[in-house]
Structure 1
Amino acid sequence: MGKRWAAGALLALALLWAVLASPPAWAQERSAGREALEEKPEEETAGEGLEVMAIEEPAAVLEDLRAVEAADVSEEGRDAARWALYRELLPPGEKGRFDGEEPVSRAGAVQALYRLSGILVRVDECPYADVPEEYQDAVAWADSVGVSGGVSEGLFAPASPVTRSQLAVMLHRFAAWRGEDMECRLAVSWEGGQVPPYAEEAVNWVLERGLYEGMTDRGLYPDLPVSRLQLACILARLQKDRDSLAGELSLPEGGTVSLSRLKHEELDQAVAGAARRHGAVGVQAAVIENGAVTDVYHYGWAVRGSVPMTDGHKLRTASLSKVAVGLAAALLWEEGAVDYDADIGAYWGVETWKPVTIRSMLSHTSTLLNSESIAWDYAGVKAQLKGPSGYGGGAPGDLRYWSYNNHAFGVLGQTLELAAGRYLDDVLEERLLGPMGADGSFAAGELREPELVTQLYRGSALGRSVGSQLGVRRWSAPGATGQQFAGGFTASAYDCGKLAALLAGDGCFEGVRLMEEPSVELMESCEDRAISGGTYQALPMRLGSGLYGRERLYYHTGSAYGVYNLLSYDPDAGDGVVVLTTGADGGRDEYGIYAVCGEISRILYEAVAQ
């Protein structure tokens, strides 16, 4: 079903539709000197390279739709995926795949609405210089009728993922252009998910219409991209009153049940009890179920005696920071910026005394000297890499020489920044934290909400003040220091839970792929040989068996300045728990994990077990 040049009668009919569906005042603005197409009489459009085309309306029945392939989509969403392919709203993938988890680009979203409109126009030029030829007709149409404009003068950013907020605005304007009822009585406020002001009206309208059903059970996530399957479902719901086939589709429903939420009060008391037993001043815990953060708990004080702990407060995550570094490494590997098995001397411009690699640093087998007194700055580390005094014994990469190494992670963070020419905070913000609506940083003074950073306590004494934490600001250049990468990442358990959910979901978060599955597989890869404690070293988590009632758990612990933390997830069930504490005792359980974290994790894992 391709584009077909229309005859004169079809041209007149299409123009009549455009006039009847004329947009509101905001959609009638000129863009780059072009007049809105629907305001032009037929004789003016005829000589300007604009022709009206029609999509063939197939004599389809539901049985025909079932024959359209969408092999990789679950049964729940298959109708919508097949319908979107059948109507040519979205292009097919390869070998019957629909690629439903892949984010939709801004140009792709406009293209889908353009095809859904039923009127296809051909233009001589597009008002945005950065739009590829295949999308120029759609983008020019969207610009002319006010469905979507550019991101700046002359630029559309066609390849950028369309966010939930941006798509809501496009849908709202598209419906107004079609002459639909735009009245909305809904006013939604989302804690921790602030909607951009430009999108508030549109988001409320979309939610009232039920277009985002099943996408917002656990939060709106206004900056999260929209997946291909989500867009197919949204468009089917939008079209159900106009398209008899769309009206017959079986679409995914919302109302996902969280076992943690069902038992929240009971679990809240259990978490508080465990915190008290271990003398904690403050605790946060996040729960992941089936690859999604579903619940959060908090206990005690952010500032003892004066500021109660909340879900939004931010704690130093200590060595959970290494998971954030590992995520950044995998993202840069995915982008082709780093090679896990290349000598890092290439990134530093030196010949290393031993062949140290990113893989060996992630697995604690680099043999780099680990000392609190060793240099963390660029010049000092560069000198360390060149001479024998910077290394211990053994061959890098050999598991026989495994030794937990904080300093190597400082060097790793610097190496990644040098290879990328970017701060790791920026890598994580652009790819993960921003879309997830998470606030975390290796430099606490750079957080979006630094006022939520907590005091750190060693028992009843102060371990580290808020002021000293906020004094850590962005360093002079990427790679200038490795001081913060072993333990300086600061965030809430809720936001750390989002990172754990991404890993538990094999790179997908809330139905959208933010990270390729091979990148997660790389992080989870480990040798067959166990290290101390009978666990297996991954990159950089450990893999343990039989922990807290789970057959397998990937996990990482962290402690510093009186915090005792644990991040873990079950790769088979997609469940996980993140526990951040301050002021608790440092006792360990039978697995060698901090007992306060282990007890809370056991409570929560048992509660969500299916």
Structure 2
Amino acid sequence: MGERWIAAALLALALVGTCAVPPLAEAAKDRGCGAAEAASGETVLGETASGEAVPGETAPGEAAPAEEAPEAGCVLAETAGPAGSLADMRAAAVTGVPEEHRDAACYAVYRGLLETGPEGAFGGEEPVSRGEAVAALYRLSGVQVRVDECGYGDVPEEYRDAVAWAGSAGVSGGMGEGRFAPASPVTRSQLAAMLYRFAAWRGEDMTCRTAVCAEGEEVPAYAREAMDWVFDRGLYEGMTDNGIYPDLPVSRLQLACILARLERERDPLAGELALPEGGTASRSRERHEAIAQAVAAAARRHGAVGVQVAVVEGGAVTDTYRYGWAVQGTVPMTDRHKIRVASLSKVAVGLCAALLQEEGAVDYDAGIGAYWGTALWKPVTIRSILTHTSTLLNSESIAWDYEGVKAQLGSKSGYGGGTPGSLGSWNYNNHAFGILGQTLELASGRYLDDVLSERVLDFVGADGAFAAGALEQPELIAPLYRTRSLGRSADSVRSVARWSAPGATGRQFAGGFTTSAKDMAKLAALLAGDGCFEGVRLMEAASVERMEGHSARALPDGTYQALPMRLRPGTYGREALYYHTGSAYGVYNLLSYDPSTGDGVVVLTTGADGGKDACGIYAVCGEISRAVYDAIA
């Protein structure tokens, strides 16, 4: 990078009055967040109070030493600050914002911190990029820096000045390997670090009396001090009622609220705003003991060895329950144990299909032969597989490997009767879902575990995989029990390693996904929230609508086939539920959610009997789900 922006920014620091940036990068280094780290943290350019370079930091583009003499080129801007009235602000052209968030959105637009789209569209659920976050703080700083170039080759012109200022001021550095990643979503941890450093740069009181702690959630080392301070200041109010989710992106509406709260003491206009407070209380948590008793009673009644339950309220995972043993008689079941979810795996495969359609990698209605490089005997599509109407033969004896499946697709012997896509051809089909998983991997060139991780699981802090041996904590995999006998050992589940190449096998996609009820409920919450998780859009609403699209005519059991869940009217006290069941090796599982309220329940069991209720759902799961739905209604 040229010397001009360094000098300009240093002059800005002198004009504004700066303070030393806390050595947060040292903590990041302890966790392994060095210059080459690409995703989990961000490195910062700055100095310690003693003036020594902070180890492990990424200097933006090998900038000239800070000791070099500054040159002119930086001025303090005339900020909007105290000027303006509440009425003027509220007249800002902002559309598509809930009433409780309107003041925050209007403030961010009125002060020029965030921009709107056509006709004032705010896009409040959309994730904020790292470039947008730094630009908002840059505008808030009141400093104007003009640079000709930036040390990060991936920074477009619109963010160049802001990124240069942020690096000089110690507010934000890069992501290693000379990248700033301006288009990547800014996570809650990254934003907390930016806010903390920004406040320190402005000379604010950094005293903190809060220590953040959440079970099962680890704040990255580089952001721990910052996250404590952010919570102490109440900047994340309403965002973290159901968990910290340190790696979850921040939405535009959330950033607008954060910036307004940050400015309350500095900007009189911000002090007048009506900002949303904390979220609604969880009925499940309020009635936790009664629900826990109902869970235990149902588990005992059906002879379960172990049970996990997770509750979704209004599209958020709010509560969990557990009963019995992960390892019979020796290891109690916890929320963190991983259980093979059987056919709930099909929901994960269906979610992958929706995400890949968003990316343009697949077409629901195109013949899958194009992804296999072969002619199909029948016009099988992704949609027909998702709806169990593909007419592909379904047998455990059919080959699951790439070559065997490719031969099946091109042969008359690989199909049954009927027309693909016709409800009259409906036949629940495990083998077809194996083929679907392979098809999605071949089309995208990626393992489905990577698709889920990159698009959803990493953001929401979930640990789940089709290749169970690749889980972050495979030691937490629980054995599966058939009544009181071993149905499948934990070592056997752990032995499933990642296959040789994407699409090499389809064996795990019909039932091999392994995770906890809590983490499976995060997928249910994403669907129940129409593609939003904790206020942030992770997938398009149209994708969820496509998954929920169902047959106009009911199946013989009174359900309506969706992609791949089924819709059952009048179930467990709800007008209708989308649901999927799963059973194998003695597990009996259920995922369900109410599309009207966003409520949902995930039940994973081992060792229970397989009796079914009047809805045709495993009774142990149905009784627990009914108790939860009644309690949270």
Same fold (TM over 0.5): yes
Q: CA deviation at 1:256?
A: 2.6
Root mean square deviation of aligned Cα: 1.8
Q: 1:385 to 1:242 in 2, by over 3 A?
A: same
Identify the residue that residue 394 of structure 2 maps to in structure 1.
Answer: 370
Identify the residue that residue 397 of structure 1 maps to in structure 2.
Answer: 421
Identify the residue that residue 504 of structure 1 maps to in structure 2.
Answer: 528
The answer on 1:304 being equivalent to 2:328 is yes
Q: CA deviation at 1:12?
A: 13
**Aligned to 2:61, which of 4, 14, 32?**
32
**Aligned to 1:124, which of 141, 148, 163?**
148
**Aligned to 1:67, which of 83, 91, 110?**
91
Identify the residue that residue 21 of structure 1 maps to in structure 2.
Answer: 18
Amino acid at match of 2:516: S
Q: 1:263 to 1:23 in 2, by over 3 A?
A: same
| 1:495-516 deviation line (CA, Å, top 9, x unaligned) | 0111000000000001100011
Q: CA deviation at 1:209?
A: 1.0
Amino acid at match of 1:21: T
- Map 1:152-163 onto structure 2 (within 5 A): 152-163=176-187
Please say if residues 12 and 74 of structure 2, whose CA atoms lie closer than 8 Å, have aligned partners that are also in contact. no
Q: CA deviation at 1:15?
A: 6.1
Q: CA deviation at 1:17?
A: 3.3
Amino acid at match of 2:333: M
Q: Distance in 2 between matches of 1:490 and 1:265?
A: 28
Identify the residue that residue 4 of structure 1 maps to in structure 2.
Answer: none
| 1:565-602 deviation line (CA, Å, top 9, x unaligned) | 00000000110000001111101101101011000000
Q: 1:95 to 1:457 in 2, by over 3 A?
A: same
Please say if residues 114 and 141 of structure 1, whose CA atoms lie closer than 8 Å, have aligned partners that are also in contact. yes
**What SS is found at the alignment partner of 1:89?**
coil
Q: Distance in 2 between matches of 1:392 and 1:275?
A: 40
Identify the residue that residue 590 of structure 1 maps to in structure 2.
Answer: 614
Q: Distance in 2 between matches of 1:484 and 1:557?
A: 16
Q: 1:13 to 1:325 in 2, by over 3 A?
A: closer
The answer on 1:426 being equivalent to 2:450 is yes
Amino acid at match of 1:395: T
Q: CA deviation at 1:70?
A: 2.9
Q: Distance in 1 between matches of 2:359 and 2:352?
A: 11
Q: Distance in 1 between matches of 2:139 and 2:453?
A: 33
Identify the residue that residue 578 of structure 2 maps to in structure 1.
Answer: 554
**Aligned to 1:467, which of 491, 497, 521?**
491
Q: Distance in 2 between matches of 1:309 and 1:69?
A: 53
**What SS is found at the alignment partner of 2:311?**
strand
Identify the residue that residue 305 of structure 2 maps to in structure 1.
Answer: 281
Amino acid at match of 2:220: P
Identify the residue that residue 440 of structure 2 maps to in structure 1.
Answer: 416
Please say if residues 164 and 226 of structure 1, whose CA atoms lie closer than 8 Å, have aligned partners that are also in contact. yes
Please say if residues 206 and 212 of structure 1, whose CA atoms lie closer than 8 Å, have aligned partners that are also in contact. yes
**What SS is found at the alignment partner of 1:551?**
strand
Q: Distance in 1 between matches of 2:608 and 2:177?
A: 54
- Map 1:262-273 onto structure 2 (within 5 A): 262-273=286-297
The answer on 1:113 being equivalent to 2:160 is no
Q: TM-score when scaled to structure 1?
A: 0.95
Q: Distance in 2 between matches of 1:437 and 1:223?
A: 7
507-516 or 28-37, which moves further after superposition? Answer: 28-37
Identify the residue that residue 223 of structure 2 maps to in structure 1.
Answer: 199
154-163 or 69-78, which moves further after superposition? Answer: 69-78
**What SS is found at the alignment partner of 1:296?**
strand
Amino acid at match of 1:353: W
Gaps of 5+ in 1: 1-10
Q: CA deviation at 1:192?
A: 1.3
Q: Distance in 1 between matches of 2:159 and 2:76?
A: 16
Identify the residue that residue 382 of structure 1 maps to in structure 2.
Answer: 406
Q: CA deviation at 1:78?
A: 1.0
- Map 1:510-521 onto structure 2 (within 5 A): 510-521=534-545
**What SS is found at the alignment partner of 2:398?**
coil
Please say if residues 15 and 76 of structure 2, whose CA atoms lie closer than 8 Å, have aligned partners that are also in contact. no
Please say if residues 418 and 425 of structure 2, whose CA atoms lie closer than 8 Å, have aligned partners that are also in contact. yes
Q: CA deviation at 1:13?
A: 10
Identity %: 70
Amino acid at match of 1:194: E
**What SS is found at the alignment partner of 2:307?**
strand
Please say if residues 287 and 578 of structure 1, whose CA atoms lie closer than 8 Å, have aligned partners that are also in contact. yes
145-154 or 361-370, which moves further after superposition? Answer: 145-154
Identify the residue that residue 181 of structure 1 maps to in structure 2.
Answer: 205
Amino acid at match of 2:136: A
Q: 1:25 to 1:531 in 2, by over 3 A?
A: closer
The answer on 1:45 being equivalent to 2:71 is yes
Identify the residue that residue 523 of structure 1 maps to in structure 2.
Answer: 547
Q: Distance in 1 between matches of 2:91 and 2:184?
A: 32
Please say if residues 441 and 489 of structure 1, whose CA atoms lie closer than 8 Å, have aligned partners that are also in contact. yes
Identify the residue that residue 559 of structure 2 maps to in structure 1.
Answer: 535
Amino acid at match of 1:32: G
Q: Distance in 2 between matches of 1:36 and 1:587?
A: 73
Q: Distance in 2 between matches of 1:458 and 1:530?
A: 33
**What SS is found at the alignment partner of 2:605?**
strand
Amino acid at match of 1:457: Y
Identify the residue that residue 169 of structure 2 maps to in structure 1.
Answer: 145
Q: 1:15 to 1:451 in 2, by over 3 A?
A: closer
Identify the residue that residue 322 of structure 1 maps to in structure 2.
Answer: 346
| 1:551-571 deviation line (CA, Å, top 9, x unaligned) | 111000000000000000000
Q: CA deviation at 1:188?
A: 2.1
Q: 1:493 to 1:303 in 2, by over 3 A?
A: same
Q: Distance in 2 between matches of 1:309 and 1:58?
A: 56
Q: Distance in 2 between matches of 1:562 and 1:457?
A: 5
Identify the residue that residue 348 of structure 1 maps to in structure 2.
Answer: 372
Please say if residues 74 and 143 of structure 2, whose CA atoms lie closer than 8 Å, have aligned partners that are also in contact. no
**What SS is found at the alignment partner of 1:237?**
helix
The answer on 1:90 being equivalent to 2:114 is yes
**Aligned to 2:101, which of 66, 77, 80?**
77
Q: CA deviation at 1:158?
A: 0.6
Q: CA deviation at 1:51?
A: 5.8
Q: Distance in 2 between matches of 1:442 and 1:12?
A: 51
Q: Distance in 1 between matches of 2:547 and 2:353?
A: 9
Amino acid at match of 1:195: V
Amino acid at match of 1:495: D
Q: CA deviation at 1:16?
A: 4.8
Q: Distance in 1 between matches of 2:209 and 2:281?
A: 27
Q: CA deviation at 1:35?
A: 5.4
Q: Distance in 2 between matches of 1:69 and 1:109?
A: 21
| 1:457-499 deviation line (CA, Å, top 9, x unaligned) | 1111110000110000100000000000000000100001110
**What SS is found at the alignment partner of 1:301?**
strand
Q: Distance in 2 between matches of 1:36 and 1:432?
A: 41
Q: Distance in 2 between matches of 1:473 and 1:153?
A: 30
Q: CA deviation at 1:216?
A: 1.2
Q: 1:32 to 1:96 in 2, by over 3 A?
A: closer
**What SS is found at the alignment partner of 1:157?**
coil
Identify the residue that residue 625 of structure 2 maps to in structure 1.
Answer: 601
Amino acid at match of 1:454: A
- Map 1:445-464 onto structure 2 (within 5 A): 445-464=469-488
Q: CA deviation at 1:22?
A: 4.0
Q: 1:106 to 1:55 in 2, by over 3 A?
A: same
- Map 1:429-448 onto structure 2 (within 5 A): 429-448=453-472
